[in-house]
Structure 1
Amino acid sequence: MTRRFKSYSIAEFQAFINTLSIRRKITHLQIHHTWKPRKTDYRGEATIASMWQYHTNTRGWRDIGQHFTVSPDGLIWDGRSLELDPAGISGHNKGGIMFEMIGNFDQGEETLEGKQLDAIIAAVRVLLQKFNLTEKDIVFHREYSPKSCPGTGITKQWFLNEVQSRKIQELSDQSYVNAPQWKKSAIDWLYKERLISSEDWKKQIESSLPLWAEALVLRRIFEKIKLGRTPF
């Protein structure tokens, strides 16, 4: 018997996640690469089904190990039930959601780029927001294992920078792009403090009060509070 698997575009994945209600407490996101199969081995659903067969028939697991698989064409494939911990990092699976990226991303091998990079970063951002997590809750397999996973060609800092920087890239209002640096700094600060999201920005596009002005005021209030001063 072979399981069927469903693929999502980035937009479909976001819509799917936003409808979920999960009883299990989510504490972190795990990032892995397959190593084998490589990107060049990818054959759509057949590749996901092959991993499922290996995990269940050879390794004896109850299901495929990962919750989601990100393929070279930018699709996000479903997997293990989100109500189950992953089979990803021995001794560190409780509370995790596991992403498996198809490819060998060790140095000198394949590169995480293009649609696949867009998909993993977008999916991670959706889950960070859904479960009120931060970039500190993103875990690379190699942090708890002698393996190189998710590949020596991917540094943790580069990956986190991609997650953070793409928040700004998603802003649909060009006023951010064209704004002077002091306005951008105020907006960036709110993102860093997790006080706004790209959705918040979109709601403010038609507002008579620019978001940068609100950000600047809030920033000054927080700075005064941290110094023990009355903000008003």
Structure 2
Amino acid sequence: MAVERKNFRRFTYAEYVEYLKPFLLKVKFSQVHIHGTWKPTIADYRKAADKMKIIQAMWRFHAITQKWGDIAQHATIDPDGYIWEGRSLLEAPASAVGYNDADKDRIHPFMFEMIGNFDIGAENLEGAQLATAVKLTSHIATMWKLPDSQIKFHREMNPAKTCPGSSVNKASFLELVRDWSDVDMSPADANKIISTWLSPAWFAASTKAERDEIHRLANELRKASGQL
């Protein structure tokens, strides 16, 4: 009998960073592909009593209806900033025709979806979800030594799409990626201050000068806790 349901783990950003570490020597990510789901929407996610069912519904559509063998993406970022696992990181994604690099050498893009309809006039990519998307993009690009040119929005690979959403400006997104440097998640107390207070303030800052000052304060915390 065919599998009709698959369970998925949900990670905090810090947990997902730890999850990624063993894969550095197992797979070569050639690009980062960024998508927005359009459907399900943020509203759909908020209404769901069981959030797992939202991810499972995507899996059924991708794996069974579309016959892609599994959920298309390697990771899904929900509106609360959590990261849900997707298909195996060792397998090429079902990202965009002609861009999946499905070969035998484990060289392929890392693909993630952000839950929401981010077209103009619909929903907004903001807060914890934006923070995780920026930090994850930065982390993958840093670990696998990818330049900005290898960070791709879905619409760049398929001009018929607005994905990840017409309201998401790539230049602004890349500026956030460039400005962000990953937080070492230990020791716990320093990290808690950085992730709970400084990280949201960084994303709420309206100027680069404000972000630079928040970065400076975060680095002072890292020094005080023996991380630098």
TM-score, reference length from structure 1: 0.72
Mapped contact 2:138–2:182 kept (Cα < 8 A): no
Residue 29 in structure 1 maps to residue 29 in structure 2: no
1:96 equivalent in structure 2: 109
Residue 41 in structure 1 maps to residue 20 in structure 2: no
1:155 equivalent in structure 2: 169
- Cα deviation for residue 164 of structure 1 reads 1.5
1:96 partner amino acid: P
Mapped contact 1:30–1:138 kept (Cα < 8 A): yes
Point out where structure 1 has 5 or more consecutive residues left out of the alignment.
175-183, 189-197, 212-232
- Cα deviation for residue 204 of structure 1 reads 8.8
- Aligned partner (choices 176, 179, 202) of residue 165 of structure 1: 179
2:121 equivalent in structure 1: 108
Q: Secondary structure of 1:26's match?
A: strand
List per-residue Cα deviations over 1:38-89 (Å, max 9, x = no partner): 0010132110100000111111111100000000011100001111111011
Residue 85 in structure 1 maps to residue 92 in structure 2: yes
Show the 5 A alignment for 1:1-232: 1-42=4-45, 43=48, 44-94=51-101, 95-145=108-158, 146-167=160-181, 205=223
1:156 partner amino acid: K
Mapped contact 1:68–1:100 kept (Cα < 8 A): yes
1:161 partner amino acid: E
- Structure 1: distance between partners of 2:8 and 2:24: 20
Mapped contact 1:31–1:139 kept (Cα < 8 A): yes
Point out where structure 2 has 5 or more consecutive residues left out of the alignment.
102-107, 185-193, 199-207
Mapped contact 1:33–1:149 kept (Cα < 8 A): yes
| Structure 1 residues 202 and 126: alpha-carbon distance in aligned structure 2, compared to 1, 3 A threshold | farther
- Cα deviation for residue 134 of structure 1 reads 2.3
1:152 partner amino acid: S
- Cα deviation for residue 205 of structure 1 reads 3.6
- Cα deviation for residue 109 of structure 1 reads 0.6
- Structure 2: distance between partners of 1:118 and 1:137: 20
2:35 partner amino acid: H
| Structure 1 residues 26 and 40: alpha-carbon distance in aligned structure 2, compared to 1, 3 A threshold | same
List per-residue Cα deviations over 1:106-128 (Å, max 9, x = no partner): 01110000110111111111211
- Structure 2: distance between partners of 1:83 and 1:128: 17
1:80 partner amino acid: R
- Give aligned-pair identity as a percent: 38
The structure whose Rg is larger is 1
Tell me whether 35-44 or 128-137 shows the greater mean CA deviation: 128-137
| Structure 1 residues 202 and 28: alpha-carbon distance in aligned structure 2, compared to 1, 3 A threshold | farther
Mapped contact 1:22–1:82 kept (Cα < 8 A): no
1:159 partner amino acid: F
- Cα deviation for residue 167 of structure 1 reads 2.9
